[in-house]
């Protein structure tokens, strides 16, 4: 991987073979460590092998992440170091036969939550996960559902257990609260707009494993009071360390922060099913406890269910707002030309009918003009289509500014444009024709245009009015271009001034 003098780096096409081999060996240490019986000296030492290997691997891999993306990974590396320290302290205490809980290692574990949180927040920010309200509400629904269950069945019983010392109750309460925070961060990663790379799946999979292991350990402690970890728990915790390290060393680690195309913030079928399950879970648990006759923390579960209903309503409201916004955007797209941003032919037909009806009702003149860029095909062929598009956009901008608020400009098709120019009752028609003839003077890049004008007679059909303007445009083009012609009478050539017209 190459870096420039400013410290930025391009993502490598593939990780070095040595780094990939080290990642593979690190992954293999997890099942090897699980073979040894937990609770024994060999088991305690074997448990440290994946943790140590993952920490070393991550220390090497983080330095290969581009400097501009390295900050969150450094926080995760710091957390990895703290976890290695905590596991080492716990192993030393186990080898000495110390079964007391909490231990000094728990202080290190709890401290490690901070850098992991900062690192995940940094990655989520790089992935653009802070801007869409719908994704935030989805993550809030998932988190609140988990928080209600963790609070009712873990945190509250631990805090209320008066048989335990205050420190024990405090530590037993903080762990589930920290896990809920991680669930929120995990939900933000999953529901956010970032790309789903290999690094993403290793990292989110590792976090899921450690939260699952914490839940299993908590239920074991409250079930039979046992504190000995099982092979499954050890394997899940080790997968967290290994998953974070492998995520850092994969070739996609620098692209973990890349955004994927915006899907509009809608709900996929999978996400809708997941949100539905999360929303009904507290109510379902409440009903199951009531049916089985077990003690039911009705107030807490009911409060959580109400809060979830409020979040679901907020999510539905957000979806409705998105639908309205998209409807407005689609309506605007249906009325405008995508290249120039002015009205399209469909809008022109509607506005022409309205203008004729208004002129019939209120009086005054109405001039319709068709404008054609001269020799546009030759301009396109010699300078390229991109230059042709730029000419069209520049010309429409100049014409719109020249016409002001009184005129209406639309793209008729290709390099042809249509203009509506109403005049107040009693206003000189020559002034309107002069305004339309001025369109020729503002064509950018030294190009010219031809203009055909027809004046509405007060009774004719809009289609007939437009047909007369089209005939005048044809006369202007066949008469030498770069001129304005009014229906039934030529008005100007490039060097002559305006003359009155019976049109």
Residue 243: C-alpha distances to residues 50, 123, 177, 287 (Å): 11, 15, 23, 37
Q: How far apart are CA 365 and CA 372, in angstroms?
A: 23
Q: Residue 223 above 70 pLDDT?
A: no
Give the mean pLDDT of 190-194.
81
For the chain, what is the mean pLDDT? 84
Answer whether 337's CB lies under 8 Å from 376's CB.
no
Q: How far apart are CA 282 and CA 285, in angstroms?
A: 5
Q: Residue 294 above 80 pLDDT?
A: no
* The predicted structure's pLDDT at residue 326: 83
Range in 190-194, 230-234, 445-449 with the lowest mean pLDDT? 190-194
Residue 408: C-alpha distances to residues 342, 353, 420, 454 (Å): 9, 13, 5, 15
Give the mean pLDDT of 488-499.
44
226 burial via Cβ count (<10 Å: 0-12, 13-18, 19+): exposed
Q: How far apart are CA 194 and CA 259, in angstroms?
A: 4
Residue 481 or 18, more confident: 481
- Name residues whose C-beta falls within 8 Å of residue 357's C-beta, 6 or more positions apart in sequence: none
For the stretch 329-377, pLDDT in tens is: 787 777 889 899 999 998 999 999 999 998 888 888 899 999 999 999 9
**The pairing of beta strand 449-455 with beta strand 416-423:** unpaired
Q: What is the DSSP letter of 459?
A: S
Give the mean pLDDT of 227-233.
78
Give the mean pLDDT of 234-245.
91
Confidence band for 499, pLDDT divided at 50, 70 and 90? very low
Q: Residue 3 above 80 pLDDT?
A: no
Rama region for 404: left / alpha / beta (φ>0; ψ in -120 to 50; rest): left
Range in 21-35, 101-115, 129-143, 223-237 with the lowest mean pLDDT? 223-237
Give the mean pLDDT of 484-489.
80
421 burial via Cβ count (<10 Å: 0-12, 13-18, 19+): buried
Confidence band for 491, pLDDT divided at 50, 70 and 90? very low
* The predicted structure's pLDDT at residue 193: 78
Range in 174-183, 262-271, 407-416 with the lowest mean pLDDT? 262-271
Confidence band for 12, pLDDT divided at 50, 70 and 90? very low
């Amino acid at each position: 991987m190459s870096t420039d003098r400013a410290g930025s780096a391009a993502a490598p096409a593939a990780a070095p073979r040595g780094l990939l081999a080290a990642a593979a060996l690190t992954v293999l240490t997890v099942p090897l460590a699980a073979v040894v019986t937990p609770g024994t000296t060999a088991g305690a030492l074997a448990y440290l092998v994946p943790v140590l290997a993952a920490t070393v691997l991550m220390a090497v891999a983080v330095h290969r992440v581009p400097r501009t993306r390295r900050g969150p990974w450094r926080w995760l590396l710091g957390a990895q170091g703290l976890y290695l320290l905590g596991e080492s302290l716990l192993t030393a205490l186990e080898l000495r036969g110390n079964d007391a809980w909490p231990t000094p290692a728990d202080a290190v574990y709890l401290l490690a939550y901070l850098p992991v949180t900062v690192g995940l927040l940094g990655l989520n920010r790089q992935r653009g996960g802070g801007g869409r309200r719908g994704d935030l509400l989805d993550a809030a629904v998932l988190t609140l559902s988990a928080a209600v269950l963790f609070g009712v069945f873990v945190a509250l019983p631990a805090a209320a257990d008066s048989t335990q010392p205050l420190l024990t109750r405090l530590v037993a309460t903080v762990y589930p609260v920290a896990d809920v925070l991680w669930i929120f961060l995990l939900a933000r990663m999953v529901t956010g707009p970032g790309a789903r790379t290999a690094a993403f799946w290793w990292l989110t999979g590792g976090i899921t494993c450690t939260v699952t292991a914490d839940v299993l350990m908590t239920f074991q402690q409250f079930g039979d009071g046992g504190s000995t970890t099982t092979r499954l728990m050890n394997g899940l915790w080790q997968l967290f360390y290994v998953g974070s390290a492998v995520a850092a060393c994969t070739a996609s680690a620098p692209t973990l922060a890349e955004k994927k195309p915006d899907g509009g913030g809608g709900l996929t079928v999978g996400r809708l099913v997941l949100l539905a399950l999360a929303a009904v879970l507290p109510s379902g648990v409440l009903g199951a406890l009531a049916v089985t006759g077990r003690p039911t923390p009705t107030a807490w579960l009911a409060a959580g269910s109400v809060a979830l209903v409020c979040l679901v309503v907020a999510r539905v409201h957000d979806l409705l707002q998105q639908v309205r916004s998209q409807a407005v955007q689609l309506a605007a797209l249906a009325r405008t030309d995508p290249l120039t941003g002015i009205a399209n032919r469909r809008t022109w037909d509607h506005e022409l009918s309205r203008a004729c009806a208004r002129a019939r009702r209120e009086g005054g003149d109405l001039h319709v003009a068709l404008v054609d860029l001269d020799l546009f095909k030759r301009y396109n062929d010699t300078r390229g289509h991109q230059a042709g598009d730029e000419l069209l956009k520049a010309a429409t901008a100049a014409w719109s500014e020249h016409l002001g608020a009184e005129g209406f400009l639309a793209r008729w098709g290709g390099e042809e444009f249509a203009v509506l120019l109403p005049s107040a009752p009693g206003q000189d028609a020559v002034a309107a024709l002069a305004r339309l003839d001025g369109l020729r003077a503002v064509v950018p890049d030294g190009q010219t245009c031809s203009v055909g004008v027809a004046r509405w007679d007060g009774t004719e059909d809009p289609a007939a009015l437009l047909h007369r303007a089209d005939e005048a445009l044809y006369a202007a083009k066949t008469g030498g271009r770069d001129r304005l012609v009014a229906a039934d009478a030529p008005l100007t050539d490039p060097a002559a001034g305006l003359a009155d017209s019976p049109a």
